[in-house]
């Protein structure tokens, strides 16, 4: 007799594992199937966590080389890449094991293997020894995430032509790297290798980097990255990538039709990700996909088939771990008869470069496009005392507020710890704050977050320190 569950989750990433824990907390008999061998999905294994670890370690390396300028003379700084990678792996293992512990603590049954629908309430699990187990379920949540895509006829070998996964585990520091695509993943990984000594060239089809980001911020971001030594080739299209004995030859054309070619050791393709819907047998059970091959869901995350739900990267919306987690909690609560909800207007986005870039809500371009009347407040970190004291004065905070009601519509920042400071704006916006609410809130001195207060003051042209 096959084992029976009230809910089975396919995929143990931030969407799936969080959903499983919340369901178990709500007293629902839950199982989670994960094919990778470790829990935590893309985020913990080959995404957010290893990339942030390398970003942090490479930044420390960069800073250590410059310490003597600040009067700290600690001897010659040398890179031990193997050890750095071991440190990254340690962070990943600690966290993935931590989720296994949370599953045990919350009594979530964990199946290691690949899940596939046999019918709408029967799931087959094939483990790595090809042994099949069938389980029965009343409801299923698909949270199978996404995987990197390349350009037509350019295949990843994860040695020379790499996705972010390969770029997180290079064994030697490449001399020259071409990053195709100037989205946040390409820029984060480009920053890591640039700091470790690689000559990095970013090739981008559009005329700006980080599509979708507030344009003023993205311009400042590119200026800062250029100063750090990263080379940008905008409005430039990849024609072909040919692998050589060692490395690759990348041929591109720019907007004037000029050919620009690169002889490089590594090509990092970071042109996007696609939903992971293959091998689930979705067609056979009638689960519909949209035009981008994502699982179609209604406002309650239910697919075209009753009692089958989907969340995270495999459905529409930004491919972000915290969006997947919010959806995981919301769907668990909906399944339990509560009123789970995700506020898609207030999902922060962070790029973990140095300085960090963070944004939430509407960009100025979006407000213009929707003919919304708005006010802008800005404050530069050059006038922030903490930034001055730490000599980290690049960047600024920008707050957009409704012209009439003063309600905050968006916040965008580039600067030290922007990724932490955006949480203040998330809470403010969730509570429907006006820029005046933020301006009248006492912020500790000296902190970077005083720049947020000053930007809010600046919405009504009363910033004190500028
Ligand atoms: C380099 C990189 C850096 C990133 N950095 C950030 C960041 O800083 N912040 C952020 O918010 N987001 C970041 N992301 C994005 C983030 O990782 C994803 O948005 C997030 O992991 C999506 O969660 P998910 O649960 O939907 O899917 P995933 O994390 O992709 O998890 C899905 C899981 O399902 C498993 N699976 C698939 N099919 C099956 C099957 N048939 N049976 C069983 N298991 C299956 C997969 O093995 C996978 O483990 C980054 C991504 C990358 C690649």
Residue that the structure tokens 């370690």 belong to = 57
Tokens of 389: 């004291």
Residue 178 has pLDDT above 80, yes or no: yes
pLDDT digits (tens, 9 = 90+) for 28-57: 999 999 999 999 999 999 999 999 999 999
Residue 315 has pLDDT above 80, yes or no: yes
- Opening angle at CA 346, ends 463 and 164, nearest 5: 105
**Ligand 1 centre from 43 Cα, in Å?**
5
pLDDT of residue 172: 97
Q: How many CA atoms lie within 13 A of 157 on its CB side?
A: 13
User: pLDDT band for position 192 (50/70/90)?
Assistant: very high
Task: Clarify whether 201 is annotated catalytic.
Answer: no
Q: What are phi and psi of 289, to 5 degrees?
A: -110, 160
Mean pLDDT taken over the chain: 97
**Ligand 1 centre from 145 Cα, in Å?**
5
Residues with beta carbon inside 6 Å of ligand 1? Answer: 10-16, 33-36, 41-43, 47-48, 51, 114-115, 143-146, 164, 185, 276, 279-280, 312-313, 319-322, 324, 352
Nearest residue to 250 via CA among 202, 283, 183: 202
DSSP letters spanning 70-94: GT---------HHHHHHHHHHHHHH
The catalytic residue among 208, 341, 445, 465 is 445
User: pLDDT band for position 433 (50/70/90)?
Assistant: very high
0.95 exceeded by the pTM? yes
Q: Residue 446: CB partners within 8 Å, gap ≥ 6?
A: 384, 385, 386, 389
Helix ranges restricted to H, 265-363: 282-285, 321-335
Protein residue with least CA distance to atom 47, ligand 1: 36
Residue 403 has pLDDT above 90, yes or no: yes
Protein residue with least CA distance to atom 30, ligand 1: 145
User: pLDDT band for position 103 (50/70/90)?
Assistant: very high
The percentage of the chain sitting over the pLDDT mark of 70, rounded to a whole number, equals: 100
User: pLDDT band for position 245 (50/70/90)?
Assistant: confident
Nearest residue to 230 via CA among 275, 186, 280: 186
Q: What is the mean pLDDT of residues 183-190?
A: 98
pLDDT of residue 206: 97
Ligand 1 atom at minimum distance from 146 CA: 30
User: pLDDT band for position 74 (50/70/90)?
Assistant: confident
pLDDT of residue 129: 95
Tokens of 48: 């957010």
Protein residue with least CA distance to atom 13, ligand 1: 48
pLDDT of residue 301: 98
Determine the residue of 321, 330, 418, 420 to mutate for testing ligand 1's pocket, defined as the one with the most ligand atoms within 8 A of the Cβ atom: 321
Residue that the structure tokens 């789970």 belong to = 340
Q: Residue 236: CB partners within 8 Å, gap ≥ 6?
A: 203, 204, 205, 252, 253, 254, 255, 260
The percentage of the chain sitting over the pLDDT mark of 90, rounded to a whole number, equals: 97
User: Is the separation of the CB atoms in 9 and 20 below 8 Å?
Assistant: yes
Q: What is the mean pLDDT of residues 190-213?
A: 98
What span, in angstroms and rounded, lies between the C-alpha atoms of 104 and 4?
18
User: pLDDT band for position 158 (50/70/90)?
Assistant: very high
Q: What is the mean pLDDT of residues 351-360?
A: 98
Determine the residue of 125, 144, 350 to mutate for testing ligand 1's pocket, defined as the one with the most ligand atoms within 8 A of the Cβ atom: 144
Residue that the structure tokens 């143990």 belong to = 12
Determine the residue of 18, 19, 48 to mutate for testing ligand 1's pocket, defined as the one with the most ligand atoms within 8 A of the Cβ atom: 48
User: pLDDT band for position 87 (50/70/90)?
Assistant: very high
* Helices 48-65 and 81-106, axial angle in degrees (round to 10): 140
User: pLDDT band for position 1 (50/70/90)?
Assistant: confident
**Ligand 1 centre from 214 Cα, in Å?**
25
Q: What is the mean pLDDT of residues 397-422?
A: 98
Helix ranges restricted to H, 336-417: 364-369, 385-390
Protein residue with least CA distance to atom 24, ligand 1: 145
């Amino acid at each position: 007799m096959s084992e029976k569950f009230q809910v089975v989750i396919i995929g143990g990433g931030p969407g799936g594992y969080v959903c499983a824990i919340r369901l178990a907390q709500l007293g629902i008999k839950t199982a989670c199937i994960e094919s990778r061998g470790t829990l935590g999905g893309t985020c913990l294994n080959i995404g957010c966590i290893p990339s942030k670890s390398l970003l942090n370690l490479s930044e420390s390396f960069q800073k250590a080389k410059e310490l003597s300028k600040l009067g700290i003379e600690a001897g010659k700084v040398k890179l031990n890449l193997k050890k750095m990678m071991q440190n990254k792996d340690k962070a990943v293992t600690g966290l993935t094991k931590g989720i296994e512990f949370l599953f045990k603590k919350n009594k979530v049954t964990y199946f290691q293997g690949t899940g596939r629908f046999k019918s709408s309430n029967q799931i087959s699990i094939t483990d790595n020894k090809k042994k099949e187990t069938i389980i029965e379920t009343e409801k299923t949540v698909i949270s199978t995430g996404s995987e990197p895509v390349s350009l037509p006829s350019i295949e990843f070998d994860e040695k020379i032509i790499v996705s972010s996964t390969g770029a997180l585990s290079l064994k030697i520091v490449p001399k020259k790297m071409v990053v195709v695509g100037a989205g946040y993943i390409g820029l984060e990984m480009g920053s890591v290798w640039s700091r470790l000594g690689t000559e990095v060239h970013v090739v981008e089809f559009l005329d700006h980097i980080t599509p979708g980001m507030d344009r003023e911020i993205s311009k400042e971001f590119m200026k800062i990255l250029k100063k750090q030594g990263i080379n940008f080739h905008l409005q430039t299209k990849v024609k072909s990538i040919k692998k050589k004995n060692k490395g690759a030859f990348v041929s591109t054309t720019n907007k004037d039709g000029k050919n620009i070619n690169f002889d490089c050791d590594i090509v990092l393709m970071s042109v996007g990700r696609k939903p992971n819907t293959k091998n689930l047998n979705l067609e056979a059970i009638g689960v519909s996909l949209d035009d981008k091959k994502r699982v179609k869901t209604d406002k309650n995350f239910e697919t075209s088939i009753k009692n089958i739900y989907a969340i995270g990267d495999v459905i529409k919306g930004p491919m972000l771990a915290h969006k997947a987690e919010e959806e995981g909690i919301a769907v668990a609560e909906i399944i339990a008869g509560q009123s789970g909800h995700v506020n898609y207007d207030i999902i922060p986005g962070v790029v973990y470069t140095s300085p960090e870039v963070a944004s939430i809500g509407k960009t100025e371009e979006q407000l213009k496009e929707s003919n919304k009347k708005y006010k802008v407040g800005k404050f530069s970190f050059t006038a922030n005392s903490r930034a001055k004291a730490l000599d980290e004065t690049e960047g600024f905070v920008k707050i957009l507020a409704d012209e009439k009601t003063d309600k905050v519509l968006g916040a965008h920042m580039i600067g030290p710890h922007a990724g932490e400071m955006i949480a203040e704006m998330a809470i403010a916006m969730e509570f429907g704050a006006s820029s005046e609410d933020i301006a009248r809130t006492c912020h500790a001195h000296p902190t970077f977050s005083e720049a947020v207060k000053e930007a809010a003051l600046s919405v009504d042209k009363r910033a004190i320190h500028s």
